[in-house]
């Protein structure tokens, strides 16, 4: 019995024969998309690495909560939205043929550019967690004994974790050649960024006062300020 899903899958495989990077498809038959499997593999590997980074530093945060007996602050539901764009929708795209009608093709070189941007996003994600160290919190809150971190990547931008997500969002449509899965993170991340960043900055300004205001003057949110004044 031939179903619509089967027809979509067969059309997708047929179109791969003439697509850029089609030579990769012979080695990985599980791919149901127009995206070369090498880029799908890179995306999956990068996601797993990002999840490991987040888990590692979140464990330290949870340990502190347990030791100091404090209740984490409630956060906006928008924090869960990017997971839809970076994990759930890409997962549906990679593992099923349902999003195949929204596929597009790119030169293979575009995929490698995306891989480079993706690598930079992962590096920045790790570095921003590492520079925060014990000051890291996944919620919009000021911890007991928290200090203002202005070194490492925080010397140049105030929100490098958000910057890493923007880089990820720019890389994703170059790695996942699909209008829905490729642009999923960009669409789901922007609402979180617009809503949460002003709340975080107001909270930090209330906690650190003039020191944070001066820090804001010499740094950008996610893009460095060029020609910023030197601190003494």
Taking a C-beta distance cutoff of 8 angstroms, is the pair 168, 121 a contact? yes
User: Is residue 35 situated within a structural domain?
Assistant: yes
Question: 109: which residues sit within 8 A by CB, 6+ positions away?
Answer: none
User: Is residue 88 situated within a structural domain?
Assistant: yes
CATH number (domain holding residue 163): 1.20.120.1630
User: Is residue 225 situated within a structural domain?
Assistant: no
pLDDT value for 28: 41
User: Is residue 229 situated within a structural domain?
Assistant: no
User: Is residue 230 situated within a structural domain?
Assistant: no
- Domain, as residue range, for 35: 4-218
165-198 tens-digit pLDDT: 999 999 999 999 999 999 999 999 999 999 989 9
| Structural domain count of the chain | 1
Better pLDDT: 38 or 232: 38
User: Is residue 223 situated within a structural domain?
Assistant: no
User: Is residue 91 situated within a structural domain?
Assistant: yes
User: Is residue 65 situated within a structural domain?
Assistant: yes
Q: Which of 216, 204, 113 is nearest to 167 (CA)?
A: 113
- The model's pTM: 0.80
């Amino acid at each position: 019995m031939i179903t619509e899903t089967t027809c979509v899958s067969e059309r997708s495989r047929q179109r791969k024969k003439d697509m850029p990077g089609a030579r990769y498809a012979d080695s990985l038959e599980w791919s149901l998309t127009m995206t070369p499997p090498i880029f799908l593999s890179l995306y999956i590997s990068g996601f797993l690495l990002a999840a490991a980074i987040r888990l590692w530093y979140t464990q330290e945060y949870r340990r502190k909560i347990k030791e100091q007996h404090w209740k984490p602050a409630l956060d906006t539901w928008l924090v869960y939205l990017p997971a839809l764009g970076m994990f759930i929708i890409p997962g549906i795209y990679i593992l099923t043929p349902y999003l195949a009608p929204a596929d597009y093709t790119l030169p293979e070189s575009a995929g490698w550019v995306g891989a480079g941007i993706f690598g930079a996003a992962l590096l920045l994600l790790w570095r921003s967690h590492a520079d925060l160290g014990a000051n890291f919190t996944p919620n919009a809150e000021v911890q007991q004994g928290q200090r203002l971190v202005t070194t490492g990547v925080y010397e140049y931008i105030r929100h490098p974790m958000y910057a890493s997500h923007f880089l990820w969002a720019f890389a994703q449509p170059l790695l996942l050649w699909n209008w829905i899965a490729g642009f999923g993170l960009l669409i789901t991340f922007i609402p979180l960024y617009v809503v949460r960043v002003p709340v975080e900055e107001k909270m930090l300004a209330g906690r650190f006062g003039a020191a944070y205001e001066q820090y804001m003057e010499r740094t950008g949110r996610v893009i460095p300020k060029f020609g910023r004044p030197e601190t003494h």
